[in-house]
Chains A and B, each alone.
Chain A
Amino acid sequence: MKKSNKFKLFIAAAGLIGATANAQLVDEKDVSITMDLQPVLQLEMTTPDQIEFVFDDISEYQAGITQYAATVLKVSSTVSWDLYAVGRSQGNTAPGFWDQQVDYGDDNVNAVDQLPLSLLELRQNRQNLSTRLDPTKLDYSANFQNPNTLGALAPYAGTNNIYVDAAGAGTPPSATDRYIAGHAGDDGIDNYMPGGTYLNQTTHTSDYYYTIDYRILPGLPAVFPMAYDLATASSESVNTLNPAAYAEPGVYTMYVQYILLEDQ
């Protein structure tokens, strides 16, 4: 190697060494942050332990009894949700029918003790957001139908009958059943209520706050003409099969379950 080349190499290496030592000074530190968003679903319900409908007057049989705002439902949720009501009983007369607690002794062969759960009608004070976005999605916001005009309803279709899960399988209502808020399925804003709370309410109404009215209308004779099965789109009045049938006097019970469910 020539001397000149050795000199060039020396100069370059020296420059490299010197320049490397001049690297910009840096120091770094890290902090990790984690966030745990645990899902919270809260349904607050204000209601009497027992809502009683006592029919001891002819006008009550004819006009029915309505318990206005007997139940108040308040929702707070951090996730998308659906809210629905289910009519249930122990099924001591048959699944899907009211439980008979007391029989007042009418042994007429036409007096039947099987009163369909769907005779209970609900009305929510505010229309379901899903129904507002898509009117084909059903809720309980329609006014109770006037029994005096039932004859003009051809064919009659129930508008407020409670959803019944006769088999007790815990199956949520289908897309053709009624929801108080949200709806079946999870695709699209018209199928769920977004997370939120009634505590943020800034107006006199809120999609997170509902009052529920209850109506039972026995009719005369007591055949419960408003009872209706949405799944089969047919009347469930007591005299559907036997025109001479009527409800056996007695004490009957059922219960309403309100279910707040994460939409998924």
Chain B
Amino acid sequence: MRLIVNVIFAFLFFLSITRSNAQIHCGSVELFLEEQGNSAFTFTDFSKYQSGYPRTTIARLKVRVTDKVIPDNLCSWNLILTVNNNGANSTEWEVLNHYSDGTGPNPLLSILEVRITNDCMTSEDFSNFVPLSDVNDILEIIKPIIGTLEASDVIPSNSCVKNVNGIGDYISNYSEYTFKIEVRLKPGMTFNPGTFALNFNFRLEENI
């Protein structure tokens, strides 16, 4: 009996030690996504293949981050984008179907460029269109804090500078907490014809 109790104790103690590393600083983080228009791009004639789809807004992201009841001056957040192609070659689109024998190359991720902006251009890396390259890349829209979180790492809302990550929301701080997701797609004429897909995963996390 004593042995069992000790094992249980050891297990619970281990859990309590490991799980207690996640320090909470925020009361809540919420991400709202509004799809805008159509995110299905069809190429049926040469002008489309040549010119592509310029600057198409596919979604708007709205962020709301609240502090705890007892305010914590370390409450801050980051926003990242990952791309999923359902296990296809990491630099290519997922193939849904080919229209021919598919002996040519499949479309590369790099034909898709992404720009993620708000009025204050708070994203450091995505204020201009950036081509995708590999699904293993993590695209940091608002950068995570690396290392120990300090109060100086928190960039408060209403400052309208890069990487604003303090508490706030898309209602009170629309210019910093509402992101427009734009894509530009230009396939060229060297890829297999067919239907292809990608999935964008936006992840809002509090910094710890």
| A interface list, Cβ under 8 A from B | 1-2, 5, 8-9, 12-13, 15-16, 18-40, 42, 76-80, 186, 194-197, 199-200, 262, 264
Contact = CB atoms under 8 A, between A and B. Distances in A.
A111 to B, nearest CB: 50
Nearest to A21: B24
B15 interface: yes
A22 B23 contact: yes
Contacts, number: 188
Contacts of B44: 38, 40
13 contacts: A9-B5, A22-B22, A26-B203, A26-B205, A30-B201, A31-B199, A35-B107, A36-B40, A36-B43, A36-B196, A37-B191, A76-B46, A186-B103
A32 B100 contact: no
B112 A27 contact: no
Interface in B177-192: 181, 183, 185, 187-192
Given A33-B112, A33-B200, A195-B189, A26 B43 contact: no
Given A9-B8, A15-B13, A31-B58, A24 B189 contact: no
B2 to A, nearest CB: 7
Nearest to A186: B103
Contacts of B137: none
B22 A19 contact: yes
B60 to A, nearest CB: 11
B87 interface: no
A29 B9 contact: no
A24 B200 CA distance: 22
B202 interface: yes
Nearest to B189: A195
B142 interface: no
B20 A42 contact: no
A30 B200 contact: yes
A24 B96 contact: no
Contacts of A33: 39-41, 58, 112, 183, 197-200
Contacts of A37: 43, 99, 107, 187, 191-196
B19 A36 contact: no
Interface string B91-116: 00100100111011001000010000
Given A1-B5, A25-B29, A27-B204, 5 more contacts: A9-B5, A33-B197, A33-B199, A195-B188, A195-B191
A206 B124 CA distance: 43
